[in-house]
Amino acid sequence: MNHRRIPKRRAALAGAGVAALIAAGFTFQNANASDAPKAEAPHTLSVAAAGKLASSIDKDLGADTAGTYYDAKAKHLVVNVVDEKAAKTVQAAGARARIVRHTLGELASARTTLKKDATIPGTSWATDPRSNKVVVTADKTVSKAEWAKLTKVVDGLGGRAELRRTKIEYKPFLAGGDAITGSGVR
């Protein structure tokens, strides 16, 4: 048997290689050890997919939702909720949760009050999920006395409604069309 000597240079390279393998083994073992996972980012959705997801979330959360809307710029479904527990459910489903002050029930109650106490020709109101309020709009035909009455009723709703004025005049049409509904509002 013939024994040959390994040159020092080759021995140094072999030693460095072994050291690198050992160091890599320790590094890869610790690579997956991290802090708690961060909340999942909202999914990028088409309008149709957002509508389906909104229906699913509304069924799951029921009264804990306070309206939904589609953020076209970010392509995310935004779901208004009133507590952290519901927010976590929404985020897990792939939508963006937004904690708001008023439930849909409170906003519906505000609409009922408006219908009872402030049904004035030349006005309209709609639930706005972005502002989480009922937006009351009066056209230019609403008189000063009627405006004062509207202001009193809206102020009495305690932040659940907002009053606006428009320069156009609302005109009723005989065949006005079908109602537009979504997220439990008309």
In this predicted model, what pLDDT tens digit does every residue of 119-172 receive, in sequence order? 999 999 899 999 999 999 999 999 999 999 999 999 999 899 999 999 988 877
* Residue 76 neighbours by CB under 8 Å, 6+ apart: 42, 43, 44, 45, 50, 70, 95, 96
Packing angle, helices 144-156 and 104-117, rounded to 10: 150
Regarding pTM above 0.75, the answer is no
| One-letter amino acid for residue 73 of the chain | K
Q: 153-159: long-range contacts (C-beta < 8 A, 24 or more apart)?
A: 153/113, 153/114, 153/117, 153/118, 154/114, 154/118, 156/113, 157/110, 157/113, 157/114, 159/101, 159/102, 159/133
Q: What is the pLDDT of residue 23?
A: 62
**Region of poorest pLDDT, from 27-31, 63-67, 86-90:** 27-31
In angstroms, rounded to a whole number, what is the distance separating the alpha carbons of residues 30 and 81? 38
**Region of poorest pLDDT, from 24-33, 80-89, 132-141:** 24-33
Q: What is the pLDDT of residue 132?
A: 94
**Please, what sign has the CA dihedral across residues 23, 24, 28, 33?**
positive
Q: 36 pLDDT band (50/70/90 cuts)?
A: very low
Q: What is the pLDDT of residue 16?
A: 59
In angstroms, rounded to a whole number, what is the distance separating the alpha carbons of residues 90 and 80? 9
Q: 37 pLDDT band (50/70/90 cuts)?
A: very low
